[in-house]
C-alpha cells in the first residue's frame, strides 16, 4: 500500500544516507499537518504553489523556487493548486556549507533536473558512479543558489500579532500606522519600534511583504492581475506591477514563467 503523503516522509527521516530525495503528489487545499524533521529539508514543487507556516513566519514557494528549512523546524505546508513535490532530506552534520537559516532559493534549470533525476536513486543503497556524482552536484547547486525575499516574519508580541493577522486576512486595509497604533493601544513610535524589533522590518515594509505574498498566491490560483492589485490595496495594476517589479525584477504575469 502506498503511504499517505503526510506519512511518507517518516520512511526517509532516519535513513543513514546524507542525502535522499523523494516525490509526493498533493491535492489542492491539503496540508501536511504540523511536524519537523531530524534533517535539513529542501522543498520543491514543479507544479502548484506551497505555503509553509512556522511559528516564526510564513513563506510562499512558487514553481522554480524551493524552500530550505533548517533541522528541527516545526512547520506545516498547505497546497495552493495540485502540487507535485520533490523533497530532499540532507544531514547537515555530514554535508557542510548549507544555509544556516530557513530561506527560499532560486531553482536553476540544472538544479530542477537534478532534483527530478535524484528521485529515482535508491534511498537505501549508497550511490556510486554517475549517481554519486549527481548527488554531489545537487549539493553544489543548492550551495550556490541565490535567495529570494519570500518570507513573512511574524512577531511574538500579542498586540502586533493581532495586527499582523488582521493585515494578512485583509491585505487591502489601508489604515495608517497611527490608526493601527491606536487600535492596539500603543503609541505610534512604540509601534514602529516594536515592528523593527520583532520582525526586522518597518511597519510599511512588513505590510508590503504581506501584500506581495498574498499576490503570489492569488496569481498562482489564476487571479487576474487587476483583481489581485485591488485585493492588495493598490489603486491600479500599474502601481502594483511597479511594486512587484521592484522586488523581483519581472512583471507579475512573468513571475511564474
Model confidence at 3, in pLDDT bands (50, 70, 90)? very low
Q: Which CATH architecture has domain 5-148?
A: Sandwich (2.60)
DSSP the chain: -PPPHHHHTHHHHT-SSSEEEEEEEE-TT-B--SB--SSEEEEEEEEEEEEEEETTEEEEE-TTEEEEE-TT--EEEEEEEEEEEEEEEE-TTTS-S--SS-EEEE--HHHHHHHHHHTTS-SSSPP-HHHHHHHHHHHHHHHHPPEE--EEE--SSHHHHHHHHHHHH-TT----HHHHHHHTTS-HHHHHHHHHHHHSS-HHHHHHHHHHHHHHHHHHTT--HHHHHHHTT-SSHHHHHHHHHHHHSS-GGGTT-
pLDDT value, residue 6:
56
- Interior angle at CA 25, CA 20 and CA 27, nearest 5: 150
Place of cell 528541527: 72
**pLDDT beyond 90 at 196:** yes
Q: What is the average pLDDT score of the chain?
A: 91
Mean pLDDT of all residues in 143-172 = 94
Distance between CA atoms of 43 and 61, rounded to whole angstroms? 9
| C-alpha to C-alpha distance for 71 and 220, rounded to whole angstroms | 28
Whole-structure pTM value: 0.83
Domain extents in the chain = 5-148, 154-254
What does the pLDDT read at residue 247?
83
**Considering only 53-67, 133-147, 191-205, 231-245, which range has the smallest mean pLDDT?**
53-67
C-alpha cell, 122: 535508491
Q: How far, in Å, CA of 244 to CA of 251, rounded?
A: 7
Phi, psi values for residue 22, rounded to 5°? -130, 165
Angstrom distances, CA of residue 29 to CA of 33, 46, 54, 201, 238: 12, 17, 18, 30, 31
Closest CA to 138 of 116, 158, 159, 161: 116
CATH number, domain 154-254, options 3.20.20.70, 1.10.10.60, 3.40.50.300, 1.20.1250.20: 1.10.10.60
Ramachandran angles phi, psi of 66, nearest 5°: -135, 155
Distances, alpha carbon 230 to alpha carbons 145, 167, 212, 215, 233, in Å? 33, 14, 12, 10, 5
**Higher pLDDT, residue 220 or 51:** 51
Residues 9-61: tens digit of each pLDDT = 677 888 889 999 999 999 989 999 999 999 999 999 988 889 999 988 999 89
Work out the average pLDDT over 90-118. Answer: 95
**pLDDT attached to residue 22:** 95
Would you state the pLDDT for residue 30?
94
Amino acid at each position: 500500500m502506498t503511504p499517505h503523503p503526510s506519512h511518507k516522509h517518516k520512511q526517509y527521516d532516519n535513513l543513514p544516507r546524507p542525502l535522499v530525495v523523494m516525490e509526493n503528489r498533493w491535492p489542492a487545499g491539503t496540508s501536511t499537518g504540523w511536524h519537523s524533521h531530524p534533517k535539513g529539508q529542501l522543498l520543491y514543487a514543479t507544479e502548484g504553489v506551497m505555503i509553509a507556516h512556522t511559528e516564526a513566519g510564513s513563506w510562499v514557494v512558487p514553481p522554480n523556487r524551493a524552500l530550505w528549512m533548517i533541522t528541527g523546524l516545526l512547520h506545516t505546508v498547505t497546497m495552493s493548486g495540485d502540487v507535485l513535490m520533490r523533497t530532499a532530506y540532507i544531514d547537515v552534520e555530514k554535508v557542510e556549507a548549507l544555509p544556516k537559516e530557513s530561506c527560499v532559493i532560486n531553482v536553476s534549470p540544472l538544479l530542477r533536473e537534478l532534483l527530478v533525476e535524484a528521485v529515482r536513486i535508491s534511498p537505501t543503497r549508497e550511490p556510486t558512479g554517475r549517481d554519486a556524482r549527481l548527488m554531489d552536484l545537487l549539493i553544489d547547486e543548492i550551495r550556490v543558489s541565490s535567495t529570494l525575499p519570500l518570507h513573512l516574519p511574524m512577531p511574538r508580541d500579542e498586540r502586533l500579532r493581532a495586527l499582523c493577522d488582521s493585515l494578512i486576512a485583509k491585505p487591502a486595509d489601508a489604515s495608517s500606522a497611527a490608526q493601527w497604533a491606536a487600535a492596539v493601544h500603543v503609541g505610534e513610535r512604540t509601534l514602529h519600534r516594536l515592528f523593527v524589533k520583532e520582525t526586522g522590518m518597518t511597519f510599511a515594509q512588513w505590510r508590503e511583504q504581506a501584500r506581495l505574498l498574498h499576490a503570489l498566491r492569488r496569481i498562482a490560483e489564476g487571479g487576474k492581475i487587476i483583481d489581485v492589485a485591488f485585493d492588495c490595496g493598490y489603486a491600479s495594476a500599474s502601481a502594483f506591477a511597479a511594486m512587484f517589479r521592484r522586488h523581483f525584477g519581472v512583471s507579475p504575469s512573468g513571475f511564474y514563467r
